[in-house]
């Protein structure tokens, strides 16, 4: 009995040491708020994206296979800065393989990831295509992403390059093979409407 009381007292003493020597860490609310504000505040990258807002006419050349002649179509695009300049939304209309083509994209810069992010949806599929990118020294936006090919079921890598021109932008999309070689799938010339 005496031994049981001694063991119980020792166990309780040990618990009180554990509970009194390990106080709960309180998060620094001021530091947390500063981090959230930094993540939410638009910066220079967002301003560069917002400068792409406007109304455009487009000329698209697309290739179904390497060496094949391109299909050329015309269309239009409307880009708008939204949510305090944090993102740019694009609504795109054209034709593809003789059918109406309508798509929409959202592009932004993630302050936390320190990457450009773009998503794309259109009426030729049901998936949401997401790419991450960076700006190079010349100001080109270079993105990479993956999608599942509906024909083969394989995951394919894509790379896009957006380059500013005197009156708009050129957008190129490449399929990247496993060996690193690339095949240009399409190219869009955006010409900004003058006001």
Q: What is the pLDDT of residues 95-138, one digit of tens each?
A: 998 999 999 999 999 999 999 999 999 999 999 999 999 998 88
**β pairing state of 115-122 and 182-192:** unpaired
CA distance 143 to 116: 8
pTM comes to 0.81
DSSP state of 24: P
Higher pLDDT, 179 or 16: 179
Per-residue pLDDT tens over the stretch 128-171: 999 999 998 888 999 999 999 999 999 999 999 999 999 999 99
pLDDT band per the 50, 70, 90 thresholds, residue 23: low
Domain definitions of the chain by residue range = 2-40, 44-192
Measured between alpha carbons, how far is residue 164 from residues 76, 138, 172, 190 in Å? 17, 9, 12, 9
53 in Cβ contact with 90 (< 8 Å): no
Measured between alpha carbons, how far is residue 112 from residues 37, 38, 109, 187 in Å? 11, 9, 9, 31
pLDDT beyond 70 at 27: no
Q: Which residue has the tokens 């179509």?
A: 73
In CATH, what class is 44-192? mainly beta
Per-residue pLDDT tens over the stretch 31-75: 899 999 999 999 999 999 999 999 999 999 999 888 899 999 999
pLDDT beyond 50 at 8: no
CA distance 175 to 160: 9
Give the pLDDT confidence score for residue 26 in this predicted structure. 61
pLDDT beyond 70 at 11: no
How many residues does this entry show for the chain? 195
CA distance 157 to 142: 13
Give the pLDDT confidence score for residue 61 in this predicted structure. 97
Distant-in-sequence, close-in-space partners of 141: CB < 8 Å, separation ≥ 6? 116, 133, 134, 135, 160, 161, 162
């Amino acid at each position: 009995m005496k031994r049981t009381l001694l063991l119980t007292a020792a166990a309780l003493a040990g618990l009180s040491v554990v509970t009194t020597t390990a106080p709960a860490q309180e998060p620094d609310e001021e530091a947390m708020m500063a981090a959230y504000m930094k993540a939410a505040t638009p910066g220079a990258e967002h301003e560069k994206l917002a400068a792409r807002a406007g109304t455009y006419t487009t000329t698209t050349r697309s290739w179904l296979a390497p060496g094949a002649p391109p299909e050329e179509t015309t269309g239009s695009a409307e880009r708008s800065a939204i949510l305090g300049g944090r993102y740019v939304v694009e609504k795109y209309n054209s034709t593809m393989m003789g059918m109406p083509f309508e798509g929409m994209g959202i592009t932004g810069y993630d302050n936390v990831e320190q990457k450009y992010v773009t998503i794309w949806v259109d009426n030729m599929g049901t998936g949401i295509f997401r790419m991450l990118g960076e700006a190079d020294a010349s100001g080109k936006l270079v993105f990479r992403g993956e999608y599942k090919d509906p024909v083969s079921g394989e995951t394919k890598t894509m790379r896009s390059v957006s380059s500013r021109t005197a009156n708009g932008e050129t957008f190129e999309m490449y399929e990247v093979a496993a060996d690193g070689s690339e095949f240009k799938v399409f190219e869009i010339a955006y010409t900004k409407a003058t006001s």
